[in-house]
Every structure is written in C-alpha cells, then in structure tokens.
Amino acid sequence: MPTTPLSVRYEDDLRLFASVWRRIGIVLLAVGVVAFPFVVDGRWVMTANFALVAVVGAVGLMILTGFTGQISLGHAAFLAIGAYTAAVTGDTFGLPFWLSIPLGGALAALVGLAVGPFALRLRGLYLAIVTLGLVFIVNHLLRAFPEVTGGLSGIRVPMLWWFDGPRVGDATWELGPLTLASREQLYFLFVLITVGVVLFATNLRRSRTGRAMNAVRDRDVAAAVMGVNVARTKLEAFGISSFIAGMAGAMFGYVQTFITIDPPFNLIMSIEYIAMIVLGGVGTVVGAVLGGLAFVAIGPIAEHLLGGLPLLSELSSSQQQRLMFAVIVGAFLLLEPLGLYGVWIRIKIYFMAWPFRY
C-alpha cells in the first residue's frame, strides 16, 4: 500500500521525498517532462512554455495570497516590470537572459517592498484596491517614457546568451537524432527555472518564515502574541512574491519576443492569476502548479470543444478560454473548494485505503 512511512525524527519529517512512491513519481514526471517536446508538435511546445510562465507567476502569487493571506490585484504590474526590464536590458544594453531575469525580479521586488507597508494597516478588499491601483500606476509610467519602453507601440524582447551575443534559438542544437530549435531550447531553460522556483517555494513553506506566514494568514493577532513579527513577515511575503512575479514577467516577454503594455498587463491578467491559485488550491505549492498548468491547457481544449457550438464559435479563442475557465472555477468553488489539489488528495486517499471502503 503506498503510504508514507512513520516519521520518528525531524529530519524524516522535513524530507521532500519521504517515500519510495514519491521518488518513483518524481522520476516518471522527470522522464515525461524531458520527453514532452520530442513527442508533440511545435504548437504544444509553445503552449508548454506559456504554462511554465503561468506556473512561476502562480507560485509567486501563492506565497503572498495563499501563504500569507494578503489579497493582491496588482500581480500584473509586477509581471510588467519584469517583462519590460528584460526588454530594455536586452534590447538597449545587450544583457544576457541570466542577468535580465534576476534584474527584472529585483526591480519588481523593490516595488513590492514599497507597496508592502500598506499591508500593515489594510487588509481584505481595502488592500486589494490599493494593489489594483498599482497596475494603473505602472502602466502609466510605462507609457510616460516611450523612448525607453516603446510606449503604445511596444518593444522587442531579445533573449541573449551573452553580452551582445547570439540569441537563444539562433542556432539549432543537434543531439544525436534529437533537434532542439528555439522553442525546445526555451522550454528546457524554463523547466530549470520553474523547478528551482517550485523547490524554493516548497522549502519556504516548511521553513520558519513560511510557518510565520501561515500564522499571519490564519490570525495575525494570535501570531503577534506568539512572537511572530507580523510587519516583517508581510514585507517578506510582498518582496518574495514580487521577485518571483518579476521573473515570470521576464519569461513571458521572452516567449512573446515582442510586448505591449495593455494588453496583456492589465487587471484581467491579475484576476486570471487569482483564479489560477483558486482553481489549483489556495495555500499549496502543488495547487499553484496545477492551477497554472490547467489555465493554459484550457485554451486549446476550449477552442476544440466550443469551436463547433452555435454562438460560442463566434467568440475569439481568448474569449472561449476565459468563458470555459470561469465555468470551471465556479464549479470548483461550489463542489471542491480545495481545487485540483483537493481532487488529488481524494484520489490519493482512495488508493491508500483500497480495496477497503470507509
């Protein structure tokens, strides 16, 4: 029976892969991730790249909203900062992507730390309104300096290997019978970034800082009585969440290769990320991963299912995706508030108890 062994030491309790079944699952997952771009066509590889961006962005929002309980509608602003940082540093200064991505995250973190003090006195809808204003402020600033950001015309986002060097994808890699074009190179680079972000968030949740965030989320007054520095915890949550969101924005720019301000960096994007973590399961890293993957996968599925229906076939692909996503999120809120993570827990418990029924 695939059950987790009894933990008798703190080291056993803190292990990420505590059972043989988890290790087997990780190996199978790794094999599937590596083989994926070689068994599907280019369209699905690009869809996977967007899905990896969504996963990183959802993990960033999960740290703020899921771990710490701070509602934010300004997530799109942090993604915009990361994307335009990558664009300006690559196009104007010729910086490689391995510098532009952390720079985009750092600049977004600075803005997040500037917004963080508002969370010390505001909560709930009041905090959401303040963070919502951040989206309009960032968009206005990006339009105010068209000589740097391109303004309404947009700006290209070159992904360079080295300083003023060749771009990612300019040369096709030949690995025996396998060929890695630009989409595949981008896919494997994003997989490495996504795995690092997911592991970081998983360890953060199990750390002292993560437990403090959960305490603030559940009851900040009680957390303060227990010795948790509520102000510092909220600022740390804003800083970490904004940094990861900035990285996701830079990744988004690299996938798009050319970005504009609005769309996509508007209120709709912020609401979509809120819906992602709700669909996946608020408060869990697995929920952020599942929500990000599901959101991007719903696009092709909606286009296939709704394309032949009357009235719905007249909608654009993005409208069909949002319609189907809204229906699915509403159904989960009514039937399974824990989201996809709750479905996974039910399946796991069923097989752990199989063949008995309780």
| pTM: predicted TM-score of the whole model, two decimal places | 0.90
With respect to residue 284, please indicate whether it lies within any of the assigned structural domains: no
Q: Please classify residue 39 by burial: count the beta carbons closer than 10 Å to its beta carbon, then call 0-12 exposed, 13-18 middle and 19+ buried.
A: exposed
- At residue 256, the pLDDT reads 92
Beta carbons of 204 and 233 less than 8 angstroms apart = no
Give phi and psi for 15, each to the nearest 5.
Answer: -70, 135
Coil, helix or strand at residue 179: strand
With respect to residue 83, please indicate whether it lies within any of the assigned structural domains: yes
With respect to residue 348, please indicate whether it lies within any of the assigned structural domains: no
- At residue 1, the pLDDT reads 38
Give whole-number Cα distances, 58 to 9, 11, 63, 108, 144, in Å: 32, 29, 9, 15, 29
Cβ atoms within 10 Å of 92's Cβ, excluding its own: 10
With respect to residue 176, please indicate whether it lies within any of the assigned structural domains: yes
> 3-state secondary structure string, 147-161?
HHHCHHHCEECCCEC
Name the stretches of the chain with pLDDT < 50.
1-3
With respect to residue 56, please indicate whether it lies within any of the assigned structural domains: yes
Give whole-number Cα distances, 295 to 41, 53, 60, 275, 305, in Å: 20, 11, 16, 9, 15
With respect to residue 345, please indicate whether it lies within any of the assigned structural domains: no
> Which helix (H) or strand (E) segment is 174 a member of?
strand 173-175
Handedness of CA 215, 273, 339, 17 (dihedral sign): negative
Split into its structural domains, the chain has a count of: 1
Give the C-alpha separation, 152 to 129, whole Å.
25
- Structure tokens belonging to residue 212: 């403090």
Beta carbons of 62 and 288 less than 8 angstroms apart = yes
List beta partners, residue 156. 258
1-37 per-residue burial string, b: 16 or more CB within 10 A, e: under 16? eeeeeeeeeeeeeeeeeeeebeeeeeeeeeeebeeeb
With respect to residue 121, please indicate whether it lies within any of the assigned structural domains: yes
Query: Scanning the structure block, which residue is given the tokens 């940082």?
Result: 85
- At residue 349, the pLDDT reads 79
The closest of 54, 105, 124 to 240, measured between CA atoms, is 105
Whether omega before 263 lies within 30 degrees of 0, making that bond cis, reads yes
Which structural domain, as residue segments, surrounds residue 224? 42-266
With respect to residue 148, please indicate whether it lies within any of the assigned structural domains: yes
- At residue 2, the pLDDT reads 44
Beta carbons of 340 and 281 less than 8 angstroms apart = yes
Alpha helices in the chain (DSSP H): 10-13, 20-39, 42-61, 75-91, 97-115, 125-144, 146-149, 182-206, 208-218, 220-225, 230-256, 267-280, 285-306, 317-335, 339-353
